[in-house]
Amino acid sequence: MSQTPSLKRQLLRQAVADNVSTLKGELPPQPSRTAASPKRQAPWRLMSLAALTILAAGILLMLRQTPSAQANPSPVPGTNALPTAAAMKSANERRFVTAPQPIDSDVFPLEVKRIVVDPGHGGDDFGTADNDLVEKDLTLDIALRLAKLLRSDGYEVLLTREDDRKLSLRERAGIANGQHSDLFISIHVNWMSTRQARGVETYFLGTTEDPALKELTRRENRESGYSLADMKYLLEGIYTGVRRDASRQFADRVQRSLFGSLKRVNPSLKNRGVKTAPFVVLVSTEMPAILAEVSCLSNREEARLLARPLYRDGIAEALARGIRGYADDVHQTEEKGS
């Protein structure tokens, strides 16, 4: 079984390019990813924006529907209570000939260029802590490493904070939305009541009935000002289709990369999987958004690993791989569609 010399030459060239990238401190080049011309991107971007605008307008119209116009019981006058999910469904059915169905995200291919990295907590919001290891410092350190990797790969990266300062969840989402970023990733470190528990998990927006997740969500949503009931209504009533699918795919990629990479240096690591939870920072962002719990500070072994810069570098690299993998998926979808 002899291969053509040209194939060998090609593979050798790619092997050398991969090594040169490592020497430069870049992520290795992926053969599947090619730069799309701005000319080709533009119609897709415009179509995507137009489609999202129409969706957003529909959602706003639905939200502004006066309670009196509905057949369902009205909320008590003078309160700001939100309409029930059933009322929303009814209004929905009248406004559209048929109720909106989940939309295939493949029809809205989005090119990834600008990424917002959100280091969780900060300032007097310490997050979790184990002796000298504090979540707000760890998330910032990992975020800075991640930003460096992504920038070296040609992405435009914005950090919600670059130093030890407190930001509300709304401010974090505002930065991502204001900068029209394409992806949002919030970095956190977990704490479990069982000291033996360990692992990585990645969240995208959705509801949860898991009591432990509800507790985690409450902790992370402390500064939001919304209740879980409000959030559940918002999620069930509004959040369908493109962004949810994209966020799920994004979360899948990052989780796979996190577990796959870190398992090598942390053999007992547990894959806690991709989960949904109504974190405010995911609700308020307008692009595919995820929250990654990159390690578990309550576990002694993971705390020991987190103290090592090389391990934090590994986390950043795994996140970068996941982001890049998702960006490649999106890009390939676009190529197939064009």
Partner 1 sequence: MSDSSGTLNVGIDLGTSHCAVSASNGQRHVIESYVGWPVDMVARKVLKKDVLVGTEAVESRTMLDLHRPLERGLVKEGSDKDLNAVQVLLRTLLDLAGVDRGDKKNKTIVRAVVGVPAEAMRVNKQQLRTTLDGEVDALMIVSEPFAVAYGLDALLHSMVVDIGAGTTDFCVMRGRFPTEDDQRTLNNAGDSVDEMLLKQIGEKYPEAQISIFMAREWKEKHGFVGKPQQRIKVTAPIKGTPTTLDITDEMRTACESIVGPITETMLDLLPRVAPEFQEKVRNNIILSGGSSQIAGLRAALEEGLKPVGGGSIRGVKNPVFEGSDGGLALALDAPDSDWDKLG
| Contacts to partner 1 by CB under 8 A | 1-3, 7-16, 18-20, 22-23, 25, 27-28, 30-32, 257, 260-261, 263-265, 267, 308, 310, 313-314, 317-318, 321, 325
Cα separation, 128 vs 335, in Å, equals: 43
Instruction: Kindly state the DSSP code that residue 37 receives in the 8-state scheme.
Output: P
CB-wise, 106 or 317, nearer to partner 1?
A: 317
CB-wise, 25 or 77, nearer to partner 1?
A: 25
| Best CA proximity match to 176, nearest among 187, 168, 185 | 185
Smallest gap from residue 331 Cβ to partner 1 (A): 14
Phi, psi of 71 (to 5 degrees): -75, -20
Query: What contacts 15, CB < 8 A, 6 or more positions away?
Result: none
Q: Edge-to-edge strand order for the sheet containing 114-119?
A: 156-159, 114-119, 183-190, 289-296, 200-204, 271-276
CB-wise, 27 or 297, nearer to partner 1?
A: 27
Smallest gap from residue 305 Cβ to partner 1 (A): 9
CB-wise, 243 or 253, nearer to partner 1?
A: 253
Smallest gap from residue 313 Cβ to partner 1 (A): 5
Smallest gap from residue 322 Cβ to partner 1 (A): 10
Per-residue tokens: 291: 């929250």
Phi, psi of 306 (to 5 degrees): -60, -25
Cα separation, 223 vs 281, in Å, equals: 10
CB-wise, 17 or 49, nearer to partner 1?
A: 17
